[in-house]
Structures are given as structure tokens and as C-alpha cells.
């Protein structure tokens, strides 16, 4: 699954570039499009823009692959509104980040997600990324939420494989545990995970898809080869705060305009040179 960027041009959403990116992904084996996540700069989209990106993505994909729309917020009422709109727009599921900044307790996290799950009949993937939110949703809380029929999985970006293992053990095989960190994708699959919502797939979708194809076909050596091939590229995607490097990379590849929403800004020159080197080594530019 790709955590797709939101291209901007002259301060507005560049729908032509977004449509071209969606076609690029479908052509190169991406299984699911995930708009309006962290990589999609959702935190700086207005509600109107957020709605439009989801609506445009659903329409452009046209049921060729599923669309899982980012719909999370640090406010339960806002999360509920975004989730309701995603369902209305025809998204196949939603990705809901743990509320950030206000640092809810584990009970608060449970009540937040339960409220949304009870109100909107759409498959929900939880999203745990404590490095962004300052709150870590513990396996016991995930196991409680797993009892809700429409909470179907979790994007785990804690980087803690012990925690991932405990989530899988507690929640069972029909609960999808998905990597939220490209570096940990192969180890997570080995533990019983089933996928990834990837940043690197924005620039190298074919190889990211091939790693999964190899792993699930039992071709472990090929999966390992692709893991190590991709590893330097993964590193280059996080030289600076995501999505600055990946959007810069896509601009260098000629796919989007290099434009961000403040407080995100252009890369430092030295980091941009390092990114260019990684892209050249991967034959992407």
C-alpha cells in the first residue's frame, strides 16, 4: 500500500499530478492507495481539500484497487466527520492515527476509536506512530479494539518488533498487522504481518510490490535481496522529516512540482545532494 503524497502547485492541490501518480502506482503493482496520511500532508489540508483528495482518489482509482483514506485527527469529533465523509465518497476503508499532541491515556484511545467504529460502518485500520504523536497504543488496547467487527487491522510504526509480535499474538491471524516503517517491513512479515503502508513505494512501487510477491510466494532469498536493495533508498526517504525527501525525490523524477505546505520546507542543500546520490544509485534519476 502506498502512503501517497499530495502534490501541490501554486498553493493548490495539483490534481493532474495526483492522477498521474495514481496511474503510476496501479501500473507498477501497488495494491492499495492511501491518500491523506502523514505522507499526504493531511495536517495542513483544509477540510475541503481533504475531502477533495479522497473524493478525487476514489473516482480516479475507479475500483481498480482499494482506497484506504486517512481520516484521523487529534479530535474525536473531527475524526468522526472525516471518516463519515470517506465512507460517503466511496473509500474502501479508513486509516485512523492515534490522537496526537493531547496525549490521551490508553482508556482515552480505546474510547476514541470505539466511538468512531460504533458510528460509521466502514473497515478501520488503526495507526500507531508514537514518534509522531507522543502516545504509544499498547497491545492490550489494540486487543480490546480488535473486538469491534469493523476494526480490521493496525499500521504499526513503533519500530518495536516485540510490540508487533505481541499485537499479532493477542489479536489473531484474521487481524491485519501492517508495517508503517519501510525499514521494518520484512521483519514484520516474518512475524506474521500482512502488508505495509509505504513511503518508499512512492518512488519505487514495482520493487516494493515485488518484495511482497516474493515473500508470499515463498521466495525468501529474493525477498531478502529486495530488502537490502531497497534499504539505502528507505534511508534517503528519511534524511529529513517525511514527506520532504519523498516529495523532493518525486520532483527530481519529474512527477510533481517541488512544493510543500509550511511549516515543511525545502531540503537543506547537503541533504538534497545525498538524496540525489541515492536516487542515481537506484537509477531513478
Cell 481520516 found at? 71
pLDDT digits (tens, 9 = 90+) for 50-85: 999 999 999 999 999 999 999 999 999 999 999 999
CB 17 within 8 A of CB 257: yes
Q: Give a yes or no: residue 117 inside a domain.
A: yes
pLDDT in the model for residue 264: 96
pLDDT at 242 over 90: yes
pLDDT value at residue 273? 97
Considering the entire predicted model, what is its pTM? 0.95
Provide the grid cell at 143: 486487543
**Residue 83 belongs to domain with CATH number:** 3.20.20.70
User: Collapsing DSSP states into helix, strand and coil, what is residue 69?
Assistant: strand
CB atoms within 10 A of CB 283: 7
Q: How confident is the model at residue 183 (pLDDT cuts 50, 70, 90)?
A: very high
Output the CA–CA distances (angstroms, integers) from residue 216 to 168, 183, 184, 189, 205, in the order listed: 18, 18, 16, 9, 17
pLDDT score for 168? 96
Q: What cell numbers appear for 283 in the block? A: 537509477
173 or 280, which is more confident: 280
Residue 196: is it exposed, middle or buried by C-beta count within 10 angstroms (0-12/13-18/19+)?
buried
Q: Which residue carries 496520511 as its cell? A: 37
pLDDT value, residue 266: 97
Which residues belong to the active site?
127, 155
Position 173 scores a pLDDT of: 81
SS3 assignment for 74-120: CCHHHHHHHHHHHHHHCCCEEEEECCCCCCCCHHHHHHHHHHHHHHC
Mean pLDDT (the chain) is 96
Say whether pLDDT at 187 is over 90: yes
pLDDT in the model for residue 48: 96
Q: Are 70 and 90 in contact (CB under 8 A)?
A: no
Strands 2-3 and 93-97: unpaired
Q: Is the pLDDT of residue 119 over 90?
A: yes
CB 76 within 8 A of CB 99: yes
Does a structural domain hold residue 229?
no
What distances in angstroms separate CA 134 from CA 22, 142, 199, 262, one per listed residue?
32, 17, 21, 21
Reported confidence tier of residue 172, pLDDT bands at 50, 70, 90: confident
How large a percentage of the chain has pLDDT more than 90? 98
Q: In 3-state terms, what secondary structure has residue 138?
A: coil
Whether 162 is covered by a domain: the verdict is yes
Query: Within a domain: residue 130?
Result: yes
Number of Cβ atoms within 10 Å of the Cβ of 106: 15
Range of the domain at 51: 2-219
Specify the pLDDT at position 222.
Answer: 98
Residue at 234 is within a domain? no
Residue 276 CB burial class (10 angstroms; 0-12, 13-18, ≥19) = middle
What's residue 176's pLDDT? 96
Is 276 part of any domain? no
If one counts the domains in the chain, the total is 1
pLDDT-based confidence at residue 161 (cuts at 50, 70, 90): very high
Q: Is residue 250 part of a domain?
A: no
Q: Does residue 59 belong to any structural domain of this protein?
A: yes
Residue 153 clears pLDDT 90, i.e. is over it: yes
Amino acid at each position: 500500500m502506498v502512503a501517497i503524497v499530495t502534490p501541490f502547485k501554486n498553493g493548490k492541490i495539483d490534481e493532474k499530478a495526483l492522477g498521474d501518480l495514481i496511474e503510476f502506482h496501479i501500473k507498477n503493482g501497488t495494491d492499495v492507495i492511501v491518500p491523506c496520511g502523514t505522507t499526504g500532508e493531511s495536517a495542513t489540508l483544509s477540510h475541503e481539500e481533504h475531502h477533495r483528495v479522497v473524493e478525487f482518489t476514489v473516482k480516479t482509482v475507479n475500483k481498480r484497487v482499494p482506497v484506504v483514506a486517512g481520516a484521523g485527527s487529534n479530535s474525536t469529533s473531527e475524526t468522526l466527520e472525516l471518516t463519515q465523509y470517506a465512507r460517503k465518497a466511496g473509500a474502501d476503508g479508513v486509516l485512523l492515527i492515534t490522537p496526537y499532541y493531547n496525549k490521551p491515556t490508553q482508556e482515552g484511545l480505546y474510547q476514541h476509536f470505539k466511538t468512531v467504529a460504533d458510528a460509521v460502518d466502514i473497515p478501520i485500520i488503526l495507526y500507531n506512530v508514537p514518534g509522531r504523536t507522543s502516545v504509544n497504543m499498547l497491545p492490550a488496547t489494540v486487543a480490546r479494539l480488535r473486538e469491534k467487527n469493523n476494526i480490521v487491522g493496525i499500521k504499526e510504526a513503533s519500530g518495536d518488533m516485540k510490540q508487533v509480535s505481541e499485537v499479532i499474538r493477542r489479536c489473531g491471524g484474521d487481524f491485519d498487522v501492517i508495517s508503517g516503517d519501510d525499514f521494518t517491513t520484512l521483519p514484520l512479515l516474518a512475524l506474521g504481518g500482512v502488508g505495509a503502508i509505504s513511503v518508499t513505494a512512492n518512488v519505487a512501487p514495482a520493487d516494493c510490490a515485488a518484495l511482497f510477491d516474493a515473500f508470499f510466494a515463498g521466495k525468501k532469498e529474493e525477498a531478502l535481496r529486495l530488502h537490502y536493495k531497497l534499504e539505502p533508498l528507505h534511508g534517503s526517504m528519511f534524511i529529513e522529516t517525511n514527506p520532504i525527501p519523498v516529495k523532493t525525490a518525486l520532483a527530481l523524477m519529474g512527477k510533481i512540482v517541488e512544493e510543500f505546505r509550511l511549516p515543511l520546507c525545502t531540503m537543506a542543500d547537503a541533504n538534497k545532494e545525498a538524496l540525489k546520490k541515492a536516487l542515481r544509485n537506484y537509477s531513478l534519476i
